[in-house]
Amino acid sequence: MTEATTTARSATSGVGTKTVAVIGATGAVGAEMLRCLEDSSYPTGTLKAFASERSAGKRFKFRGQDVEMQVLTDDAFKGVDVALFASETDISKKYVPIAAAAGAVAIDNSSAFRMDPTVPLVVPEVNGDLIKPSQKIYANPNCVAAIMVMALWPLHQAGKLKRVIASTYQSASGAGRPAMDELEEATRAYLKGEAYQHKVLPHPYAFNLFSHNTSIGDDGYNGEETKVVAELRKIMGLPELRVGVTCVRVPVLRAHSMSITAEFADKVSVDAARALLSKAPGVKVVDDRARNHFPMPVESSGQYDVLVGRVREDISDPTGHTLALFMSGDQLLKGAALNAVQIAERVL
């Protein structure tokens, strides 16, 4: 469990002094941002929530206060200390600079600023040292990269990571609430023997899996895979890291899982790897060979910690410098909302 999470769960009392804005508050990630923020140590005194026009005027409770959904405008960030963006890329591109110019620290969950060399791409447990008082814009990583580095980083500290080969099993939540709804509706229809016309995703989703629904580049990699490669390198500060990844959409509601083979310059034994992971903040080792119990999305969903297990030596590498492992993490939490709120906590 991360230091930030430990603090969050024990320090929600007290008088808040900061003003926080959540943009995209009614979406799947935005709703989780509100929950994480409510459970956070960040001293929120005033909350501003922004959504589309159809949600304007709706009210909800935050720490006992009555909050009304508003429509985002250019002057929305006056007096805001932190702005958490759970918005589409075009919205972030327009309003993140406006928020920063108004004096707010903007933490953006879209891909708009992730590869901007002037914007830190932050997972606090890995590169939290990049969070500085002078920095006004931070990028939240792609969900796969954010979850994956939670296991790769502590192992890299011991063995100097050289190469990563990964396959991902990505949930509906990565495509937003409409995809989650489509999975539920398609599953119900399938079980009833009824026809169902998919609209959100490009292929039938119930009892099916398919290549991640981003466009395929000239090199044969889809957009999600390209993001993961670039973002792993940036977060870990390893621009030459060799990465190969295959991203697949699976019929799971909200947790991403990953099969990882990691090669190191220095040998890291299975026992040493388990010990390192058991001490790593934000990581929980689930590695019970006797009961064949390893990370599963049904158990990682709703959890702040990322689950890691199936730690074993890759027998295809005779040098013994390669480990294989499996992990699962909540895409809406550590893959998105929780990580953003943890950045906000560090800003203090």
Backbone angles phi, psi at 245, to 5 degrees: -145, 140
To the query of whether residue 143 is one of the catalytic residues in this protein, the response is: yes
- 156, 212, 256, 321: which one is catalytic? 256
- SS3 (DSSP) at 193: coil
Candidate list 36, 143, 156, 247, residue with the active-site label: 143
Neighbours of 38 (CB within 10 A): 17
Segments in the chain forming alpha helices (H) = 3-10, 28-38, 89-101, 124-127, 143-159, 177-192, 223-236, 270-279, 297-300, 338-347
3-state class (DSSP) for residue 160 = coil
User: 3-state class of 152 per DSSP?
Assistant: helix
Q: How far apart are CA 310 and CA 322, in angstroms?
A: 13
Supply φ then ψ for residue 262, to 5 degrees.
Answer: -125, 125
Query: Catalytic annotation on 36?
Result: no
CA 156 to CA 107: how far, in whole Å? 27
Cite the active site residues: 143, 256
